[in-house]
A = this chain, B = another copy of it.
Amino acid sequence: MRVLVLHGPNLNLLGEREPEIYGMQTLAEIDATIRTAATELSVDVRSEQHGSEGAIIEALHAARGNCDGAILNPGAYAHYSYAIADAIAAIGIPVIEVHLSNIAAREAFRRTSVTAAACRGTISGLGARGYVLALRALTELLSK
């Protein structure tokens, strides 16, 4: 089972950027945590980070043939990128959306996600462990 983990814009600054919102872990540390969990779950996981909407769309397309599922943290694109939402709908594999912070408790524009509408589900507000939970859910979904 192969899973793509796709981190969106500004997530490369994790650990340094507004730690009171996003936590103190760096993206490398989060990816290491995900890999540990993946190994435990016998999942082949690959992580990418892209700041560009187009690059996220391409990465999703590339996952079509190569991955069984994907975990996507679209960052702020969640709130307006209908192009990413279309890409998720187009590729046909299950995608789970993850947000580190609880987007329901932040600015009004963050309270709805247009990309989540094309995903299987969403996990938000649970920090880096959201990725691990998503991986677990995806594994179960795919092994059914």
Q: Which residues of A contact B (CB under 8 A)?
A: 8-10, 12-13, 16-18, 50-55, 57-58, 61, 64, 75-77, 79-83, 85-87, 89-91, 96, 102, 104-105, 109-114, 116-126, 129-130, 133, 136-137, 140-141
Contacts and interface: CB of A to CB of B under 8 A. Distances in A.
A105 B116 contact: yes
Contact of A50 (B18, B54, B113): B54
Copies in the complex: 12
B123 A122 contact: yes
A11 B101 CA distance: 27
Given A13-B90, A80-B82, A133-B137, 11 more contacts: A9-B57, A17-B91, A51-B53, A54-B55, A102-B120, A104-B119, A111-B112, A111-B117, A121-B123, A122-B123, A133-B133
A104 B82 contact: no
Contacts of A102: 116-117, 119-122
A27 to B, nearest CB: 12
A26 to B, nearest CB: 13
A51 B52 CA distance: 10
Contact of A121 (B55, B61, B75, B130): B130
Contacts of A61: 10, 12-13, 51
Contacts of A18: 89-90
5 contacts: A13-B64, A102-B120, A102-B122, A119-B125, A130-B137
